[in-house]
Chain A
Protein backbone atom coordinates (compact mmCIF):
# COMPACT_ATOMS: atom_id res chain seq x y z
CA UNK A 1 0.00 0.00 0.00
CA UNK A 2 1.16 3.54 -0.80
CA UNK A 3 2.35 5.53 2.18
CA UNK A 4 -0.14 8.27 1.26
CA UNK A 5 -3.16 6.05 2.00
CA UNK A 6 -2.23 6.20 5.66
CA UNK A 7 -3.52 9.03 7.84
CA UNK A 8 -0.87 8.43 10.48
CA UNK A 9 2.70 7.70 9.42
CA UNK A 10 5.28 7.16 12.12
CA UNK A 11 8.83 6.13 11.29
CA UNK A 12 11.62 5.70 13.85
CA UNK A 13 10.03 8.09 16.31
CA UNK A 14 12.35 8.77 19.25
CA UNK A 15 11.49 11.05 22.17
CA UNK A 16 13.99 11.62 24.95
CA UNK A 17 13.67 13.56 28.19
CA UNK A 18 17.28 14.05 29.26
CA UNK A 19 18.77 10.56 29.49
CA UNK A 20 15.38 8.90 29.57
CA UNK A 21 14.02 7.47 26.33
CA UNK A 22 10.21 7.63 26.52
CA UNK A 23 9.64 6.52 22.91
CA UNK A 24 12.24 4.26 21.38
CA UNK A 25 12.14 4.02 17.56
CA UNK A 26 8.38 3.65 17.09
CA UNK A 27 7.25 2.76 13.59
CA UNK A 28 3.59 2.25 12.64
CA UNK A 29 0.96 3.34 10.13
CA UNK A 30 -2.77 3.82 10.56
CA UNK A 31 -5.22 3.53 7.66
CA UNK A 32 -8.12 5.83 6.91
CA UNK A 33 -11.30 4.73 8.73
CA UNK A 34 -9.40 2.29 10.91
CA UNK A 35 -10.09 1.83 14.64
CA UNK A 36 -6.61 1.63 16.10
CA UNK A 37 -6.03 0.63 19.73
CA UNK A 38 -2.99 1.94 21.57
CA UNK A 39 -2.29 -0.03 24.74
CA UNK A 40 0.45 -0.22 27.32
CA UNK A 41 1.11 -0.27 31.07
CA UNK A 42 1.34 2.95 33.08
CA UNK A 43 4.61 4.64 32.12
CA UNK A 44 5.09 2.68 28.87
CA UNK A 45 5.21 5.91 26.84
CA UNK A 46 1.66 6.13 25.43
CA UNK A 47 0.94 9.69 26.55
CA UNK A 48 4.27 10.93 25.18
CA UNK A 49 3.49 9.42 21.78
CA UNK A 50 -0.07 10.77 21.70
CA UNK A 51 1.12 14.29 22.54
CA UNK A 52 3.45 14.10 19.55
CA UNK A 53 0.70 12.77 17.26
CA UNK A 54 -1.58 15.62 18.36
CA UNK A 55 1.06 18.24 17.56
CA UNK A 56 1.60 19.20 21.20
CA UNK A 57 5.17 17.98 21.45
CA UNK A 58 7.94 17.43 18.90
CA UNK A 59 9.92 14.22 18.43
CA UNK A 60 13.63 14.19 19.29
CA UNK A 61 14.19 12.37 16.00
CA UNK A 62 12.27 10.41 13.40
CA UNK A 63 9.42 11.19 11.04
CA UNK A 64 5.80 11.72 12.11
CA UNK A 65 3.04 12.68 9.69
CA UNK A 66 -0.59 13.10 10.76
CA UNK A 67 -3.38 13.74 8.20
CA UNK A 68 -0.62 14.48 5.70
CA UNK A 69 1.05 17.15 7.85
CA UNK A 70 4.46 16.97 9.47
CA UNK A 71 4.08 17.35 13.25
CA UNK A 72 7.38 19.18 13.51
CA UNK A 73 6.75 21.89 10.92
CA UNK A 74 2.95 21.97 10.54
CA UNK A 75 1.66 21.38 14.05
CA UNK A 76 -1.20 23.92 13.75
CA UNK A 77 -2.52 22.11 10.67
CA UNK A 78 -2.25 18.81 12.53
CA UNK A 79 -4.30 20.24 15.42
CA UNK A 80 -7.11 21.50 13.22
CA UNK A 81 -7.38 18.15 11.42
CA UNK A 82 -7.92 16.07 14.56
CA UNK A 83 -10.49 15.70 17.33
CA UNK A 84 -9.70 14.77 20.94
CA UNK A 85 -11.66 13.40 23.84
CA UNK A 86 -10.60 12.04 27.22
CA UNK A 87 -12.29 10.60 30.26
CA UNK A 88 -10.82 13.30 32.50
CA UNK A 89 -11.82 16.34 30.48
CA UNK A 90 -14.64 16.42 28.02
CA UNK A 91 -17.17 19.24 28.23
CA UNK A 92 -17.82 22.23 30.50
CA UNK A 93 -20.29 21.31 33.26
CA UNK A 94 -21.56 24.88 33.73
CA UNK A 95 -22.40 25.42 30.07
CA UNK A 96 -25.48 23.98 28.38
CA UNK A 97 -25.34 21.23 25.77
CA UNK A 98 -25.67 23.74 22.92
CA UNK A 99 -23.22 26.23 24.45
CA UNK A 100 -20.61 23.48 24.59
CA UNK A 101 -21.27 22.54 20.98
CA UNK A 102 -21.02 26.20 19.92
CA UNK A 103 -17.82 26.76 21.90
CA UNK A 104 -16.00 23.77 20.39
CA UNK A 105 -17.47 24.39 16.94
CA UNK A 106 -16.22 27.98 16.99
CA UNK A 107 -12.77 26.96 18.22
CA UNK A 108 -12.51 24.62 15.22
CA UNK A 109 -13.59 27.39 12.87
CA UNK A 110 -17.13 26.32 11.94
CA UNK A 111 -19.55 29.07 10.87
CA UNK A 112 -22.66 29.68 12.97
CA UNK A 113 -24.75 28.18 10.15
CA UNK A 114 -22.67 24.99 10.17
CA UNK A 115 -22.86 24.80 13.97
CA UNK A 116 -26.64 25.16 13.88
CA UNK A 117 -27.08 22.53 11.21
CA UNK A 118 -24.60 19.99 12.62
CA UNK A 119 -25.76 20.37 16.23
CA UNK A 120 -29.39 19.78 15.20
CA UNK A 121 -28.30 16.72 13.26
CA UNK A 122 -26.15 15.46 16.15
CA UNK A 123 -28.85 15.90 18.79
CA UNK A 124 -31.46 14.18 16.67
CA UNK A 125 -29.12 11.25 15.93
CA UNK A 126 -28.54 10.88 19.68
CA UNK A 127 -32.26 11.36 20.29
CA UNK A 128 -31.83 14.19 22.81
CA UNK A 129 -33.13 17.29 20.99
CA UNK A 130 -35.07 18.33 24.08
CA UNK A 131 -31.88 18.37 26.19
CA UNK A 132 -30.34 21.14 24.08
CA UNK A 133 -30.53 23.78 26.81
CA UNK A 134 -29.67 21.60 29.79
CA UNK A 135 -26.46 22.17 31.74
CA UNK A 136 -23.90 19.46 31.00
CA UNK A 137 -23.32 19.03 34.75
CA UNK A 138 -26.87 17.73 35.20
CA UNK A 139 -26.48 14.92 32.63
CA UNK A 140 -25.47 11.37 33.46
CA UNK A 141 -21.88 10.31 32.82
CA UNK A 142 -23.05 8.13 29.93
CA UNK A 143 -24.72 11.02 28.11
CA UNK A 144 -21.75 13.29 28.79
CA UNK A 145 -19.40 10.77 27.20
CA UNK A 146 -21.61 10.23 24.14
CA UNK A 147 -21.95 14.00 23.68
CA UNK A 148 -18.24 14.56 24.22
CA UNK A 149 -17.48 12.09 21.44
CA UNK A 150 -19.99 13.70 19.08
CA UNK A 151 -18.51 17.14 19.83
CA UNK A 152 -15.00 15.82 19.19
CA UNK A 153 -16.05 14.83 15.63
CA UNK A 154 -18.28 17.87 14.99
CA UNK A 155 -15.70 19.53 12.74
CA UNK A 156 -15.36 16.27 10.74
CA UNK A 157 -11.74 15.68 11.65
CA UNK A 158 -9.66 13.11 9.76
CA UNK A 159 -8.69 11.46 13.03
CA UNK A 160 -10.19 11.42 16.49
CA UNK A 161 -8.05 10.58 19.54
CA UNK A 162 -9.89 8.95 22.44
CA UNK A 163 -8.05 8.69 25.74
CA UNK A 164 -9.74 6.04 27.91
CA UNK A 165 -13.15 7.13 26.72
CA UNK A 166 -15.45 4.68 28.47
CA UNK A 167 -14.09 4.16 31.99
CA UNK A 168 -16.85 3.80 34.54
CA UNK A 169 -19.92 3.90 32.29
CA UNK A 170 -22.60 1.21 32.41
CA UNK A 171 -22.37 -1.68 29.91
CA UNK A 172 -25.31 -0.59 27.74
CA UNK A 173 -23.96 2.96 27.41
CA UNK A 174 -20.55 1.50 26.61
CA UNK A 175 -22.05 -0.41 23.67
CA UNK A 176 -23.88 2.69 22.46
CA UNK A 177 -20.59 4.56 22.68
CA UNK A 178 -18.84 1.92 20.57
CA UNK A 179 -21.64 2.13 18.01
CA UNK A 180 -20.89 5.86 17.70
CA UNK A 181 -17.25 4.95 17.14
CA UNK A 182 -18.16 2.38 14.46
CA UNK A 183 -20.41 4.94 12.81
CA UNK A 184 -17.61 7.53 12.72
CA UNK A 185 -15.18 4.96 11.30
CA UNK A 186 -17.76 3.97 8.70
CA UNK A 187 -17.90 7.63 7.64
CA UNK A 188 -14.15 7.57 7.13
CA UNK A 189 -12.94 9.07 10.40
CA UNK A 190 -9.91 7.27 11.79
CA UNK A 191 -10.25 6.42 15.48
CA UNK A 192 -7.18 6.20 17.72
CA UNK A 193 -8.06 4.79 21.17
CA UNK A 194 -6.08 4.25 24.36
CA UNK A 195 -7.48 2.07 27.12
CA UNK A 196 -6.41 0.09 30.18
CA UNK A 197 -9.25 -2.31 29.70
CA UNK A 198 -8.39 -5.18 27.47
CA UNK A 199 -11.89 -6.22 26.53
CA UNK A 200 -12.09 -2.81 24.89
CA UNK A 201 -9.09 -3.68 22.75
CA UNK A 202 -11.17 -6.40 21.10
CA UNK A 203 -13.31 -3.72 19.43
CA UNK A 204 -10.35 -2.36 17.50
CA UNK A 205 -9.36 -3.34 13.95
CA UNK A 206 -5.73 -3.40 15.00
CA UNK A 207 -3.98 -3.04 18.31
CA UNK A 208 -0.49 -2.04 19.32
CA UNK A 209 0.96 -2.80 22.74
CA UNK A 210 3.76 -0.64 24.11
CA UNK A 211 6.25 -1.95 26.65
CA UNK A 212 9.02 0.26 28.07
CA UNK A 213 8.89 2.83 25.28
CA UNK A 214 8.82 0.30 22.44
CA UNK A 215 6.12 -1.31 20.36
CA UNK A 216 6.21 -4.94 21.35
CA UNK A 217 3.22 -6.11 19.30
CA UNK A 218 0.99 -4.84 16.51
CA UNK A 219 -1.75 -6.89 14.86
CA UNK A 220 -5.48 -7.55 14.81
CA UNK A 221 -6.87 -8.72 18.17
CA UNK A 222 -7.46 -12.23 16.79
CA UNK A 223 -3.98 -12.23 15.23
CA UNK A 224 -2.39 -11.32 18.57
CA UNK A 225 -4.39 -13.95 20.41
CA UNK A 226 -3.42 -16.76 18.06
CA UNK A 227 0.19 -15.56 17.81
CA UNK A 228 0.57 -15.51 21.61
CA UNK A 229 -1.62 -18.61 22.12
CA UNK A 230 -3.99 -16.73 24.46
CA UNK A 231 -7.79 -16.73 24.85
CA UNK A 232 -8.18 -13.06 25.65
CA UNK A 233 -6.44 -9.75 25.04
CA UNK A 234 -5.92 -9.54 28.79
CA UNK A 235 -3.73 -12.65 28.67
CA UNK A 236 -1.87 -11.28 25.64
CA UNK A 237 -1.19 -8.06 27.53
CA UNK A 238 0.01 -9.84 30.68
CA UNK A 239 2.27 -12.14 28.66
CA UNK A 240 3.90 -9.22 26.86
CA UNK A 241 4.29 -6.86 29.79
CA UNK A 242 5.19 -9.46 32.39
CA UNK A 243 6.97 -12.26 30.54
CA UNK A 244 7.94 -14.09 33.74
Chain B
Protein backbone atom coordinates (compact mmCIF):
# COMPACT_ATOMS: atom_id res chain seq x y z
CA UNK B 1 0.00 0.00 0.00
CA UNK B 2 2.81 2.40 0.90
CA UNK B 3 6.30 2.18 -0.52
CA UNK B 4 8.82 4.61 0.93
CA UNK B 5 12.10 4.46 -0.98
CA UNK B 6 15.15 6.21 0.51
CA UNK B 7 13.58 9.56 1.28
CA UNK B 8 15.45 12.41 2.96
CA UNK B 9 14.23 15.78 4.14
CA UNK B 10 16.20 18.68 5.59
CA UNK B 11 14.93 21.85 7.22
CA UNK B 12 17.85 24.20 6.61
CA UNK B 13 20.78 22.57 8.35
CA UNK B 14 18.59 20.21 10.37
CA UNK B 15 18.20 16.74 8.91
CA UNK B 16 14.61 15.72 9.67
CA UNK B 17 14.60 12.47 7.73
CA UNK B 18 17.68 10.59 6.59
CA UNK B 19 17.38 7.92 3.90
CA UNK B 20 14.20 6.16 5.06
CA UNK B 21 12.87 3.07 3.34
CA UNK B 22 10.03 0.76 4.30
CA UNK B 23 6.81 -0.75 2.96
CA UNK B 24 3.34 -0.97 4.47
CA UNK B 25 1.11 -3.82 3.34
CA UNK B 26 -2.54 -3.47 2.41
CA UNK B 27 -4.83 -3.93 5.40
CA UNK B 28 -1.98 -3.62 7.87
CA UNK B 29 -2.02 -1.70 11.15
CA UNK B 30 1.44 -0.17 11.00
CA UNK B 31 2.97 1.77 13.89
CA UNK B 32 5.68 4.41 13.69
CA UNK B 33 7.17 4.51 17.17
CA UNK B 34 9.58 7.18 18.33
CA UNK B 35 10.07 10.16 20.65
CA UNK B 36 9.25 13.79 19.82
CA UNK B 37 11.55 15.08 17.12
CA UNK B 38 12.14 11.66 15.55
CA UNK B 39 10.60 12.85 12.26
CA UNK B 40 7.25 11.03 12.46
CA UNK B 41 5.07 14.00 11.41
CA UNK B 42 7.43 14.97 8.59
CA UNK B 43 7.30 11.43 7.25
CA UNK B 44 3.49 11.39 7.37
CA UNK B 45 3.20 14.75 5.60
CA UNK B 46 5.39 13.50 2.79
CA UNK B 47 3.26 10.35 2.40
CA UNK B 48 0.14 12.55 2.35
CA UNK B 49 1.47 14.88 -0.40
CA UNK B 50 1.56 17.83 2.02
CA UNK B 51 5.35 18.13 1.96
CA UNK B 52 7.99 17.38 -0.69
CA UNK B 53 10.98 15.20 0.15
CA UNK B 54 14.43 16.51 -0.83
CA UNK B 55 15.24 13.15 -2.36
CA UNK B 56 13.79 9.66 -2.65
CA UNK B 57 10.42 8.37 -3.81
CA UNK B 58 7.09 7.53 -2.21
CA UNK B 59 4.20 5.65 -3.69
CA UNK B 60 0.79 5.12 -2.14
CA UNK B 61 -1.26 2.44 -3.90
CA UNK B 62 0.86 3.13 -6.97
CA UNK B 63 0.21 6.88 -6.81
CA UNK B 64 3.02 9.43 -6.61
CA UNK B 65 2.26 12.05 -3.93
CA UNK B 66 3.86 14.72 -6.14
CA UNK B 67 2.35 13.94 -9.58
CA UNK B 68 -0.92 12.36 -8.49
CA UNK B 69 -1.68 14.37 -5.39
CA UNK B 70 -5.30 14.96 -6.39
CA UNK B 71 -6.19 11.29 -6.71
CA UNK B 72 -4.10 10.42 -3.69
CA UNK B 73 -5.91 12.84 -1.41
CA UNK B 74 -9.23 11.15 -2.28
CA UNK B 75 -8.12 7.80 -0.92
CA UNK B 76 -6.45 8.93 2.30
CA UNK B 77 -7.91 10.05 5.61
CA UNK B 78 -5.68 12.11 7.90
CA UNK B 79 -5.90 12.91 11.57
CA UNK B 80 -3.17 15.43 12.40
CA UNK B 81 -1.52 15.63 15.81
CA UNK B 82 -3.26 18.85 16.75
CA UNK B 83 -7.05 19.00 16.87
CA UNK B 84 -7.86 20.58 13.53
CA UNK B 85 -11.63 20.56 13.15
CA UNK B 86 -13.74 23.71 13.17
CA UNK B 87 -14.27 24.49 16.83
CA UNK B 88 -17.22 26.82 16.18
CA UNK B 89 -19.09 24.27 14.09
CA UNK B 90 -21.12 21.63 15.86
CA UNK B 91 -20.20 17.95 15.87
CA UNK B 92 -22.77 17.24 13.17
CA UNK B 93 -21.75 20.26 11.05
CA UNK B 94 -18.11 19.22 11.07
CA UNK B 95 -18.99 15.73 9.93
CA UNK B 96 -21.30 16.97 7.15
CA UNK B 97 -18.68 19.46 6.03
CA UNK B 98 -15.97 16.81 5.63
CA UNK B 99 -18.40 14.49 3.85
CA UNK B 100 -19.40 17.19 1.33
CA UNK B 101 -15.80 18.28 0.67
CA UNK B 102 -15.13 14.70 -0.46
CA UNK B 103 -18.35 14.59 -2.49
CA UNK B 104 -20.13 12.06 -0.31
CA UNK B 105 -22.76 12.03 2.41
CA UNK B 106 -22.72 10.92 6.01
CA UNK B 107 -25.50 8.38 5.26
CA UNK B 108 -23.47 6.69 2.52
CA UNK B 109 -20.56 5.75 4.78
CA UNK B 110 -22.29 5.71 8.12
CA UNK B 111 -21.52 2.01 8.59
CA UNK B 112 -17.80 2.84 8.87
CA UNK B 113 -18.11 5.37 11.64
CA UNK B 114 -21.18 4.00 13.39
CA UNK B 115 -19.33 2.38 16.30
CA UNK B 116 -17.30 5.52 16.96
CA UNK B 117 -19.83 8.22 16.13
CA UNK B 118 -22.64 6.74 18.22
CA UNK B 119 -20.59 7.53 21.33
CA UNK B 120 -20.63 11.26 20.54
CA UNK B 121 -24.00 11.45 18.79
CA UNK B 122 -25.82 12.61 21.97
CA UNK B 123 -23.69 15.76 21.69
CA UNK B 124 -24.18 16.32 17.96
CA UNK B 125 -25.43 19.90 18.44
CA UNK B 126 -22.47 20.88 20.63
CA UNK B 127 -19.66 23.04 19.14
CA UNK B 128 -16.59 20.87 18.54
CA UNK B 129 -14.47 23.27 20.63
CA UNK B 130 -16.52 22.41 23.72
CA UNK B 131 -15.99 18.65 23.63
CA UNK B 132 -13.73 16.77 26.06
CA UNK B 133 -10.39 15.45 24.79
CA UNK B 134 -11.67 11.92 24.28
CA UNK B 135 -14.76 13.10 22.39
CA UNK B 136 -12.71 15.44 20.15
CA UNK B 137 -10.57 12.48 19.25
CA UNK B 138 -13.63 10.40 18.28
CA UNK B 139 -15.01 13.23 16.16
CA UNK B 140 -11.66 13.77 14.42
CA UNK B 141 -11.49 10.06 13.63
CA UNK B 142 -15.08 10.08 12.29
CA UNK B 143 -14.26 13.04 10.03
CA UNK B 144 -11.11 11.35 8.73
CA UNK B 145 -13.15 8.23 7.88
CA UNK B 146 -16.30 9.71 6.38
CA UNK B 147 -15.12 9.46 2.73
CA UNK B 148 -14.22 5.78 3.17
CA UNK B 149 -10.45 6.16 2.74
CA UNK B 150 -8.30 3.18 1.81
CA UNK B 151 -5.46 4.50 3.92
CA UNK B 152 -5.87 6.14 7.32
CA UNK B 153 -2.96 8.24 8.60
CA UNK B 154 -3.07 9.04 12.32
CA UNK B 155 -0.42 11.33 13.79
CA UNK B 156 -0.05 10.75 17.54
CA UNK B 157 -3.77 10.24 18.21
CA UNK B 158 -3.21 9.11 21.81
CA UNK B 159 -0.73 11.71 23.05
CA UNK B 160 -1.93 13.38 26.24
CA UNK B 161 -5.00 11.15 26.44
CA UNK B 162 -5.76 9.16 29.59
CA UNK B 163 -5.33 5.39 29.76
CA UNK B 164 -9.04 4.63 29.41
CA UNK B 165 -9.50 6.71 26.24
CA UNK B 166 -6.27 5.32 24.84
CA UNK B 167 -7.40 1.77 25.26
CA UNK B 168 -10.79 2.60 23.69
CA UNK B 169 -9.04 4.27 20.78
CA UNK B 170 -6.91 1.23 20.03
CA UNK B 171 -9.92 -1.06 20.07
CA UNK B 172 -11.60 1.28 17.55
CA UNK B 173 -8.55 0.92 15.29
CA UNK B 174 -8.77 -2.86 15.49
CA UNK B 175 -12.43 -2.67 14.47
CA UNK B 176 -11.52 -0.48 11.47
CA UNK B 177 -9.02 -3.06 10.33
CA UNK B 178 -11.98 -5.38 9.82
CA UNK B 179 -13.18 -3.06 7.02
CA UNK B 180 -9.87 -3.61 5.23
CA UNK B 181 -8.59 -0.10 5.83
CA UNK B 182 -4.80 0.22 5.97
CA UNK B 183 -3.76 2.23 9.01
CA UNK B 184 -0.46 3.96 9.73
CA UNK B 185 -0.28 5.45 13.20
CA UNK B 186 2.49 7.23 15.10
CA UNK B 187 3.04 7.28 18.84
CA UNK B 188 5.81 8.22 21.27
CA UNK B 189 4.61 5.50 23.66
CA UNK B 190 6.49 2.27 23.30
CA UNK B 191 3.85 0.17 25.05
CA UNK B 192 1.47 0.83 22.13
CA UNK B 193 3.81 -0.96 19.73
CA UNK B 194 2.45 -4.34 20.80
CA UNK B 195 -1.00 -3.33 19.48
CA UNK B 196 0.31 -2.99 15.89
CA UNK B 197 0.86 -5.67 13.22
CA UNK B 198 4.30 -4.25 12.45
CA UNK B 199 6.24 -1.25 13.66
CA UNK B 200 9.01 1.06 12.49
CA UNK B 201 11.16 2.28 15.38
CA UNK B 202 12.35 5.83 14.67
CA UNK B 203 14.92 8.06 16.29
CA UNK B 204 16.45 11.32 15.05
CA UNK B 205 15.25 11.02 11.47
CA UNK B 206 16.33 7.42 11.05
CA UNK B 207 14.59 4.08 11.14
CA UNK B 208 16.22 1.77 13.66
CA UNK B 209 14.18 -1.29 12.74
CA UNK B 210 11.02 -2.44 10.94
CA UNK B 211 9.52 -5.66 12.29
CA UNK B 212 6.55 -7.24 14.07
CA UNK B 213 6.41 -6.35 17.78
CA UNK B 214 7.32 -9.95 18.63
CA UNK B 215 10.36 -9.91 16.34
CA UNK B 216 11.50 -6.57 17.76
CA UNK B 217 11.63 -8.13 21.19
CA UNK B 218 13.07 -11.46 19.97
CA UNK B 219 15.93 -9.59 18.28
CA UNK B 220 17.19 -8.42 21.66
CA UNK B 221 20.60 -10.01 22.11
CA UNK B 222 21.99 -11.29 25.39
CA UNK B 223 20.38 -11.94 28.73
CA UNK B 224 18.47 -9.32 30.68
CA UNK B 225 18.00 -9.24 34.45
CA UNK B 226 15.60 -7.48 36.78
CA UNK B 227 17.19 -6.20 40.00
CA UNK B 228 15.21 -4.88 42.93
CA UNK B 229 15.38 -4.28 46.67
CA UNK B 230 16.28 -1.45 49.01
CA UNK B 231 16.92 2.12 47.99
CA UNK B 232 16.56 2.39 44.20
CA UNK B 233 19.05 5.21 43.71
CA UNK B 234 21.79 3.48 45.77
CA UNK B 235 21.09 0.26 43.90
CA UNK B 236 21.62 1.96 40.51
CA UNK B 237 24.93 3.46 41.64
CA UNK B 238 26.14 0.21 43.20
CA UNK B 239 25.26 -1.89 40.13
CA UNK B 240 27.14 0.57 37.88
CA UNK B 241 30.25 0.09 39.99
CA UNK B 242 30.34 -3.65 39.26
CA UNK B 243 32.92 -4.41 36.56
CA UNK B 244 30.92 -6.81 34.44
CA UNK B 245 27.82 -4.60 34.18
CA UNK B 246 27.06 -3.18 30.73
CA UNK B 247 23.78 -1.25 31.17
CA UNK B 248 21.59 -0.33 34.14
CA UNK B 249 18.26 1.37 33.59
CA UNK B 250 15.46 2.04 36.07
CA UNK B 251 12.23 0.33 34.94
CA UNK B 252 9.56 1.04 37.49
CA UNK B 253 9.96 -1.18 40.53
CA UNK B 254 12.98 -2.96 39.06
CA UNK B 255 16.25 -2.13 37.37
CA UNK B 256 16.92 -3.73 34.01
CA UNK B 257 20.52 -4.83 33.86
CA UNK B 258 22.73 -6.52 31.29
CA UNK B 259 26.29 -7.82 31.58
CA UNK B 260 29.16 -6.95 29.24
CA UNK B 261 29.38 -10.33 27.51
CA UNK B 262 25.60 -10.80 27.45
CA UNK B 263 26.08 -13.59 29.99
CA UNK B 264 24.86 -14.36 33.48
CA UNK B 265 26.95 -13.10 36.41
CA UNK B 266 24.16 -12.99 38.94
CA UNK B 267 26.03 -14.78 41.70
CA UNK B 268 29.01 -12.43 41.48
CA UNK B 269 26.77 -9.36 41.37
CA UNK B 270 24.84 -10.64 44.36
CA UNK B 271 28.08 -11.06 46.33
CA UNK B 272 29.26 -7.61 45.26
CA UNK B 273 26.01 -5.93 46.32
CA UNK B 274 26.10 -7.80 49.64
CA UNK B 275 29.59 -6.40 50.34
CA UNK B 276 28.14 -2.97 49.63
CA UNK B 277 25.58 -3.56 52.35
CA UNK B 278 22.54 -4.53 50.28
CA UNK B 279 21.24 -7.79 51.72
CA UNK B 280 17.70 -7.77 50.41
CA UNK B 281 18.47 -7.60 46.69
CA UNK B 282 16.69 -9.94 44.31
CA UNK B 283 18.00 -10.62 40.81
CA UNK B 284 15.90 -12.54 38.27
CA UNK B 285 16.02 -13.19 34.55
CA UNK B 286 13.40 -11.25 32.59
CA UNK B 287 12.02 -11.06 29.08
CA UNK B 288 13.03 -7.84 27.30
CA UNK B 289 10.29 -5.46 26.15
CA UNK B 290 10.04 -3.03 23.23
CA UNK B 291 11.75 -0.28 25.23
CA UNK B 292 14.72 -2.50 26.12
CA UNK B 293 15.21 -3.24 22.45
CA UNK B 294 14.71 0.40 21.44
CA UNK B 295 17.39 1.49 23.90
CA UNK B 296 19.78 -1.19 22.70
CA UNK B 297 19.26 0.00 19.12
CA UNK B 298 19.77 3.63 20.16
CA UNK B 299 23.07 2.71 21.79
CA UNK B 300 24.42 0.99 18.68
CA UNK B 301 23.16 3.42 16.03
Partners in one complex: yes
Interface hits, B150-201 → A, CB 8 Å: 159-167, 188-191
For the complex, give the distance between the alpha carbons of A57 and B249 in Å.
38
What number of residue pairs across chains A and B have CB atoms under 8 A from each other?
A: 96
User: B-facing mask of A172-209, CB < 8 A → 1, else 0?
Assistant: 11010011001101100000000011111111000000
Tell me the minimal C-beta distance from A223 to chain B in angstroms.
11
Q: B158's closest neighbor in chain A, by CB? A: A196
Interface centre among A142, A185, A196, A200 (most CB of B within 10 A): A196
| B252 and A41 contact, CB distance less than 8 A | no
| B161 and A196 contact, CB distance less than 8 A | yes
- Sorting the interface of chain B by its residue count into under 10, 10 to 19, 20 to 34 or 35 or more gives 35 or more
Q: A234's closest neighbor in chain B, by CB? A: B163
Interface check B84, CB cutoff 8 A: no
Q: A180's closest neighbor in chain B, by CB? A: B233
- Sorting the interface of chain A by its residue count into under 10, 10 to 19, 20 to 34 or 35 or more gives 35 or more
| B163 and A196 contact, CB distance less than 8 A | yes
CB-CB under 8 A from A186, the residues of chain B are 231, 233-234
Interface check B112, CB cutoff 8 A: no
Interface of A is mostly: helix
For the complex, give the distance between the alpha carbons of A40 and B159 in Å.
16
| A141 and B36 contact, CB distance less than 8 A | yes
| B159 and A167 contact, CB distance less than 8 A | yes
Tell me the minimal C-beta distance from B252 to chain A in angstroms.
3
For the complex, give the distance between the alpha carbons of A234 and B167 in Å.
10
User: B-facing mask of A79-112, CB < 8 A → 1, else 0?
Assistant: 0000000000000000000000000000000000
Which A-B residue pairs are the 7 nearest by beta carbons?
A: A202-B252, A170-B35, A182-B233, A168-B36, A186-B233, A41-B162, A175-B249
Interface residues of B (CB under 8 A from A): 34-38, 132-134, 159-167, 188-191, 203, 231-234, 236, 249-253, 291, 294-295, 298-299
Tell me the minimal C-beta distance from B259 to chain A in angstroms.
18
For the complex, give the distance between the alpha carbons of A182 and B37 in Å.
26
User: B-facing mask of A213-244, CB < 8 A → 1, else 0?
Assistant: 00000000110000000000010011001100
| B160 and A167 contact, CB distance less than 8 A | yes
